Amino acid sequence: MDFAIPSHIAAMREQISQFLREKVYPNEQAWFDYDEKAYPACSEDHPEIKQLQAEVKELGLWAGHLPREAGGMGLSIMEYGLLNEIIGRSYFAPRIFGSNAPDSGNAEILWHYGTAAQHEHFFWPLQQGAVRSFFSMTEPDVSGADPTLLQTTAELVDDQWVINGRKWYSTNANGAGFGIVMAMTDPDAPTHLRYSQIIVPAETPGLTLVRPISVMGHTTGGGHWEIEYTDVHVPAENLLGKRGQGFAIAQTRLGPGRIHHCMRWLGQAQRAFDLMCEYSTKRVAFGGPLADKQVVQHWIAESAAEIQAARLSVLHAAWQIDQAGAKSARIDISLIKFSVAAMLMNVLDRAIQVHGGLGVSDDTPLAFMWRQGRASRIYDGPDEVHKMVVAREILKRYGYPERKV
């Protein structure tokens, strides 16, 4: 594994950093305010963001997660990770650079599993940023850690899928053009062949946005939504992939999705670290700057060590995927999913503490980053599940018998 950053990637990292400093960071608060004041409008549809998307496309920095034939940059996972660490420093930047969740994951599975017609009607408008999308998998009445319990159903009736159920945490559903829904299509099949994924246009009768979900006391237009599906009819050809392939498609989506999250969390942690260091040199208490205090120096040193360890772990997982595919890196991905999430929260907590009352206000991005970051230990598999996966694989080397849950 070569730790050197390729020269063309280094140049793009600096280009993206400059773009964020000049055109994104100065406008973040206005975009946050747009969410609050124009609710239920979505900040991701703000005209300024649309304009910046066009500029990014002109720069050739659009959709780093997709191959060139799919309109992306054709980067390896490691190369994309090195860019995404910079992009991840701002909540809005992934949208501006065409790589935000859930659109990025939806685009990937549409590209890999979609038909020619699905590419034309759903993939290309999504890839070009003409529409947004959502992913409907999690349900309020069953554990998200065990998707085999999902209750939403889809019955094939006269060449139409009829969908019934309730989902939540369908991110960015408000104003989206379509969603991809995980539903039970074969209740009598083996457990992991019971579910399929189906594309549902947002304007389909019976699809109701029930409510935005308040997260840590904040509700914004582009956040998480609860959705009711009541006799929602879509054509049979809206099936994504093959019938019963829902879990296989989900893993195709979630594996890269998890490492993409970790890359962005590195960026968030680095930005919080920079803010902490800068503020500690300027804020004076008890006769000198906070940077003079031993406890603050310890926090800075510990944060630097944790960020570096997380960065190397993420890059190793990315390298493993590039070398042998996502399946070979399953344990590496689970390992970074919980360890990088913990690192993010550690660094954010220290940065907030150094900022004191300012840190828990919304006058800096830290409080928002903390509210968003806390969910990192839950979505795409809670810490406990990923730790269980890692531990079981390790214990096999010591003769521990494999058991099914």
What is the rounded radius of gyration, in angstroms, for the C-alpha atoms of the chain? 22
How many Cβ atoms from other residues are within 10 Å of residue 97's Cβ? 30
* 74 and 120, same domain (yes or no): yes
Q: Is the pLDDT of residue 292 over 90?
A: yes
- Are 355 and 364 in contact, with CB atoms under 8 Å apart? yes
- Residues 287 and 351 grouped into a single domain: yes
Contact of 197 with 249, CB cutoff 8 Å: yes
Q: In whole numbers, what is the pLDDT of the chain averaged over residues? A: 92
d(CA 403, CA 384): 17
CA 315 to mean position of chain CA atoms? 17
* Structural contact between residues 87 and 94, judged by C-beta atoms closer than 8 angstroms: yes
Domain for residue 2, yes or no? Answer: no
pTM (two decimals)? 0.90
Q: Is residue 404 scored above 70 in pLDDT?
A: no
**What pLDDT score was predicted for residue 128?**
94
For residues 24 and 156, state if they share a domain.
no
Nearest to 65 by CA among 102, 90, 28: 102
pLDDT at res. 42: 54
What are the E-state strand segments in 306-354?
Answer: none
CA distances for 334 relative to 37, 256, 338, 394, angstroms: 39, 11, 7, 12
Q: Supply the pLDDT for residue 327.
A: 82
Please tell me the predicted confidence (pLDDT) of residue 328.
85
Whether 108 and 197 map to the same domain: the answer is no
Same domain? 362 vs 301: yes
Is residue 94 in a domain? yes
The pLDDT-based confidence of 132 (bands split at 50, 70, 90) is very high
Shared-domain flag, residues 114 and 148: no
Cα 101 to Cα 64: distance, rounded to the nearest angstrom: 13
**What pLDDT does residue 305 have?**
98
Predicted pLDDT of residue 277? 98
| Number of domains the chain contains | 3
Domain that holds residue 86: 7-128
Instruction: Answer yes or no: is 377 within a domain.
Output: yes
Q: Are residues 391 and 289 in the same domain?
A: yes
Residue 175 burial class via C-beta count within 10 angstroms: exposed 0-12, middle 13-18, buried 19 and up: middle
pLDDT at 154: 98
Residues 363-390 have pLDDT tens digits of: 999 999 999 899 999 988 899 999 999 9
Q: Is the peptide bond before 140 cis (omega within 30 degrees of 0)?
A: no
- Decide if 405 is inside a domain: no
Q: What is the per-residue pLDDT for 37? A: 53
pLDDT band of residue 30 (cuts 50, 70, 90) is confident
CATH number of the domain where residue 49 is located: 1.10.540.10
Stretch 150-174: mean pLDDT: 96
Q: HSE on the CB side for 400, CA within 13 Å?
A: 11
Do 345 and 203 fall into the same domain?
no
Residue 404 covered by a domain: no
- Which H or E run includes 340? helix 330-355
Whether 43 shows a pLDDT value over 60: the answer reads: no
Q: Are 46 and 98 contained in the same domain?
A: yes
Q: Is residue 1, in this structure, part of any structural domain at all? A: no
Nearest-angstrom CA–CA distance, 341 and 237: 38
- 118 and 137 housed in the same domain: no
Domain holding 360: CATH number?
A: 1.20.140.10
Residues 102 and 257: their CA atoms lie apart, in Å, by: 9
Q: Grade residue 220 by pLDDT with cuts at 50, 70 and 90.
A: low
- Asked which of 112, 128, 144 is the last residue of a domain, the reply is 128
Task: Say if CB 113 and CB 241 are below 8 A apart.
Answer: yes
Q: What percent of the chain has pLDDT over 70?
A: 95
* pLDDT score, position 47: 84
Query: CATH number of the domain that 202 lies in?
Result: 2.40.110.10
Q: Which of 128, 151, 179 is the last residue of a domain?
A: 128
Among 17-21, 53-57, 75-79, 290-294, name the one with the lowest average pLDDT. Answer: 75-79
329 and 381 share one domain = yes
- On whether both 307 and 393 belong to a single domain, the answer is yes
Query: 43 lies in a domain?
Result: yes
pLDDT confidence bin for 34, thresholds 50/70/90: low
Q: What is the pLDDT of residues 95-117, one digit of tens each?
A: 999 999 899 999 999 999 999 99
Q: What is the pLDDT of residues 245-278, one digit of tens each?
A: 999 999 887 777 788 899 999 999 999 999 999 9
Give residue-wise pLDDT tens across range 302-354. Answer: 999 999 999 999 999 999 999 988 888 889 999 999 999 999 999 999 999 99
